[in-house]
A and B are shown apart, each in its own frame.
Chain A
């Protein structure tokens, strides 16, 4: 039922673990099946220097967690924000239809970790980069994927409440 790529990431997941002094941490609970994913990021000069995850979930959840960490490592914060659940699923060679929601988990955990980082930055007074990120993600033509991702997660949250 899973693609070879999914099974490969599932059996050999990248970047498992925690970052004790992470710059941002994001945790999401899957509203569909109740599973949990936590993502830690370390940011250096606007780029995701390190990323680690912990996941309590199915094969697709573990594989998407692993894939998302691989996709964003070394990317700028703005680029990372554009990664949506679709990007992750596609990079894995697709997911079975009833497992698509697991890829939301990975994208959402990542976005939440970034928001956590940006929030902390804002609080500590360093505004500049955060504002730039916002502009870039919203730029027409490039923001499509990010918006898509947000719309998905928006619907998710709606379903929970």
Chain B
């Protein structure tokens, strides 16, 4: 059976050249960078080289890059680290309602510890309004954290505008660039941010490696203790193969960026055009233009996402959904909720994220399979055009009747 992977926003296959590097640094250059012998010195030199490569991907200085176990740890370190350094158990943080859970849950954690958090709303495209950010800034605001590109709907936030307004008031800005860095041009100075989270496995590197960019002079405390690694900010023996692999992935991403962007955008546009032509009542989620080139997030009316994904999976196609039934917590995606998308429509949300390995044949195969899957499920659905959209409220009324 043909297999088509369209879930690159979840993770990507490791690039063969990257895998080769990882193996080399597991088997040959395996030393501990903290050791003083030649094995250690080789590893140290390699890690410092990798730091420079990753820095160059985002226009940073090598000493501003701190390697972590991934994007989630980078988010935690940025938010908790700045909060800890800036205040003794108090302060105000500004974020948005559409952040990744790595940011949202960290903010909620700090809220329980006495911090105040403002969760800014977004518009129908999932966009944060920079003026609202500026208005939310207080005397005790210690950090603004807004993602660069949304993992679900692909919307790219006006981070440069947010950072400019924040700078006027002297508030540091963190951005989660896990979906953006390596996939679109990202420059810390052009954006004007003070902290940025990066991940390796979204750009054809291995899982378990990421980095936090910290602008020189930013006040931040470590959250993991146990040694002087990463200049005292992140203790623990460096994941040398992971770090070197992330550097290789960054190098390739930087070198191939224009081609990769054009490639995935072409596939995505072919897909969206074909889908809209073949299937009525499909809506694009997220911003029409300010979005990641590889993201096609849509809502298919009158069907539920998990049932679509299961059918696609049976035919070898991998995608994802923000429907409540798909999530382990049985809640619809907080991103779609924040965008004001009604429940019955977010239930039909599907995310297709394209990658460098996809082809036009992949797209055509999906366009062959998906419309019939949707048609079959729609034939099974009590919802449809012209029919009354009886949501849970309808069910409630029914329940009351049944019991009375």
Most buried by B among A37, A54, A101, A156: A54
Check if B302 sits within 8 Å of A56, measured CB to CB. Answer: yes
Check if A29 sits within 8 Å of B382, measured CB to CB. Answer: no
Q: How far is the CA of A37 from the CA of B243 in the complex (A)?
A: 50
Q: How far is the CA of A69 from the CA of B25 in the complex (A)?
A: 59
The proximity string for B residues 375-396 relative to A, scoring 1 for CB distances below 8 Å and 0 otherwise, is: 0000111110000001111111
The proximity string for B residues 282-306 relative to A, scoring 1 for CB distances below 8 Å and 0 otherwise, is: 0000000000000000000011101
Check if B398 sits within 8 Å of A35, measured CB to CB. Answer: no
The proximity string for A residues 99-137 relative to B, scoring 1 for CB distances below 8 Å and 0 otherwise, is: 001100000100110010000000000000000000000
What interface size band does chain B fall in? 35 or more
Residue of B nearest to A38 (CB): B382
A26 with B398, Cβ < 8 A, contacts A34-B347, A56-B303, A57-B307 known = yes
Task: Please count how many residues in chain A sit with their CB below 8 Å of the partner chain's CB atoms.
Answer: 40
Q: How far is the CA of A65 from the CA of B383 in the complex (A)?
A: 16
The one of B304, B314, B380, B399 that contacts A13, using a Cβ cutoff of 8 Å: B380
Q: How far is the CA of A30 from the CA of B382 in the complex (A)?
A: 13
Q: Is B194 an interface residue (CB 8 A)?
A: no
| A98 CB contacts on chain B under 8 angstroms | 328, 330
Q: How far is the CA of A69 from the CA of B302 in the complex (A)?
A: 22
Residue of B nearest to A13 (CB): B380
Check if A58 sits within 8 Å of B326, measured CB to CB. Answer: yes
Check if B381 sits within 8 Å of A54, measured CB to CB. Answer: yes
Q: How far is the CA of A104 from the CA of B304 in the complex (A)?
A: 18
| A161 CB contacts on chain B under 8 angstroms | 396
The total number of A-B Cβ pairs within 8 Å is 111
The one of A11, A31, A58, A59 that contacts B395, using a Cβ cutoff of 8 Å: A31
Check if A36 sits within 8 Å of B403, measured CB to CB. Answer: no
| B217 CB contacts on chain A under 8 angstroms | none
Check if B394 sits within 8 Å of A27, measured CB to CB. Answer: yes
| B304 CB contacts on chain A under 8 angstroms | 35, 56-58, 61
| B383 CB contacts on chain A under 8 angstroms | 36, 56
A31 with B382, Cβ < 8 A, contacts A59-B307, A115-B402 known = no
Q: How far is the CA of A160 from the CA of B400 in the complex (A)?
A: 11
The one of A16, A34, A160 that contacts B391, using a Cβ cutoff of 8 Å: A34
| A111 CB contacts on chain B under 8 angstroms | 402
**Which residues of chain B in 348-398 are interfacial with respect to chain A, using CB atoms and an 8 Å cutoff?**
379-383, 390-396, 398
Q: Is A62 an interface residue (CB 8 A)?
A: yes
A160 with B392, Cβ < 8 A, contacts A33-B324, A34-B324, A35-B304 known = yes
| B334 CB contacts on chain A under 8 angstroms | none
Q: Is B102 an interface residue (CB 8 A)?
A: no
Given contact pairs A34-B324, A54-B381, enumerate 11 new A-B contacts (beta carbons under 8 Å): A10-B307, A27-B394, A29-B390, A36-B382, A37-B382, A56-B304, A56-B381, A56-B383, A61-B304, A108-B399, A161-B396
A-B pairs, top 3 by smallest CB distance, nearest first, are: A29-B395, A58-B325, A33-B324
Which residues of B are in contact with A by a Cβ distance under 8 Å? 302-304, 306-307, 310-311, 314, 323-326, 328, 330, 332, 343-344, 347, 379-383, 390-396, 398-400, 402-403
Which residues of A are in contact with B by a Cβ distance under 8 Å? 2, 7, 10-11, 13, 16, 26-38, 54-59, 61-62, 98, 101-102, 108, 111-112, 115, 153-154, 156-157, 160-161
23 residue pairs from A and B, CB less than 8 Å apart: A2-B310, A10-B307, A10-B310, A13-B380, A16-B379, A26-B402, A27-B382, A27-B390, A27-B398, A28-B395, A28-B399, A29-B391, A29-B396, A33-B324, A34-B332, A34-B391, A36-B391, A36-B395, A55-B381, A58-B304, A58-B306, A61-B325, A101-B330
